[in-house]
Amino acid sequence: MIKKIYEAIDNSFDEMVEIRRYLHQHPELSFKEYKTAKYIADFYEELGIPYEKNVGGNGVVATLKGAKPGKTVALRADFDALPIQDEKDVPYKSKVDGVMHACGHDGHTSTLLTLAKVMKNYQDELTGTIVFLHQHAEEYAPGGAKPMVEAGVLENVDAVFGTHLWATTPIGVLQTSKDVFMAGADRFEITIQGQGGHGAYPHETKDSIVIGSELVSSLQQIVSRRIDPLGTAVVTVGVFEAGNAFNIIADTARIVGTVRYLDTDIQEIVVQEMNKIVEGTSIAHDVKINLDYDKGYPPLVNHAAEAELVMKASEEIEEIHTREEVIPVMGGEDFAYYTLERPGAYFFTGANKEGNPYPHHHPKFDFDERALPIAAKTLISAYFSYQKK
């Protein structure tokens, strides 16, 4: 049956692309994906596959129960976009100003919807149950996975699998890990309340820009001087806001950034050191400094057996010529919440588009749409392989 399914997926390529491009032209930001969620729900309504909407927020969960008893396996795709202006010169360019699918979630959704349509035709031959998890808000913590898990989407699920179309990896390459695959991702915000004044009289002020600059420099020393060189951490400042005139010393400053880690012990060291730096700088400059630290997605940890199953199952797919176990990626992914609860694995489907070197979250991001059927075939192959466990 698997060969017939592969053929049906290939025959659905044009529709896959059509769905992907429609979604690409109509992106919606995290927690605001109302029209996208309706599009997904309407798709399942037309297919006649039972579904629930507004799951944990804007999530949509569809369930295809096979005629033969077996295990229940969830397959997940996310569907939110990013606050980025689309700068590609393509017919399917985003029609929403300042919003675009710059990470491939449109492709993830197209993959899962098309797979559901194909598998509906094989329901009478299907062993087990497929749960199609369409998750909102992957891009912005607290994310959509956690509330969907809390809403019970994994209650009757035996295993869960997901993929990310990976635009920096060549098409035909599958990548995964049998352990930590993606980093934990936290957010911090530091506000400095100094004392402003005239640029000609700095001695009468408490310069929030100078203090903030010192903080930024000190934060970089956490990784270089407080973390074991064999450990892994990233402290990145992405926002530094202060001042509004060339001759005025700013009284307030705002610093926002992210912390990435693979081990929770490392995370705790970073938090402790950050608190010390903020407290010490506050005392040294006699100003009020506030640190707001939000712990975001935990590290995504694959289960070894399920990761091996994905690689083994992909051997049946002729378009995949390379399978790699890779070192962890420092990007975050809230698929982590699923594998905390159930056996499962996440993997990258190579989707590099020739002539488009731009990475994820770039205004000119794009991917090779030939990766869509490869992703669908790998997901359903993992499903069937899990049924045999």
**Binding site membership for Mn(2+): which residues?**
103, 105, 139, 164, 361
Query: CB count, 10 Å around CB of 223?
Result: 21
Whole-number Å distance between alpha carbons of 167 and 147: 28
Label residue 383 left, alpha or beta by phi (over 0 means left) and psi (-120 to 50 means alpha): alpha
218 CB burial (10 A radius; 0-12, 13-18, 19+): middle
Annotated binding site: 103, 105, 139, 164, 361
Q: Report the distance separating Cα 161 and Cα 371, nearest Å.
A: 17
Query: For 228-301, where are the alpha helices, taking DSSP H only?
Result: 264-285
In the chain, the N- to C-terminal Cα span, in Å, equals 18
Tell me how crowded residue 378 is: count the other CB atoms within 10 A of its CB.
24
List the Cα angle 370/175/20 in 5-degree steps. Answer: 30
CA distance 6 to 119: 11
**Alpha carbons 59 and 55: distance in angstroms, whole number:** 5
Sheet holding 68-78: strands in order across?
51-55, 59-65, 127-135, 68-78, 159-166, 344-350, 173-176, 322-325
The C-alpha angle 125, 176, 44, rounded to 5 degrees, equals 40
> Is the Cβ–Cβ distance between 363 and 103 less than 8 Å?
no
Strands (E), 140-211: 159-166, 173-176, 180-182, 184-193, 197-198
What backbone torsions phi and psi does residue 191 show, to the nearest 5 degrees? -115, 135
- CA-to-CA distance for 64 and 126, rounded, in angstroms? 9
138 flagged as catalytic? yes
Cα 171–175–180 angle (5° rounding)? 155
Q: Which of 138, 207, 333, 368 is catalytic?
A: 138
Q: Which residues contact 136 (CB under 8 A, 6 or more apart)?
A: 30, 31, 33, 37, 56, 57, 58, 59, 78, 79, 80, 144
Largest CA distance in the chain: 81
Catalytic residue among 33, 78, 80, 106: 80
| Residues noted as catalytic | 80, 138
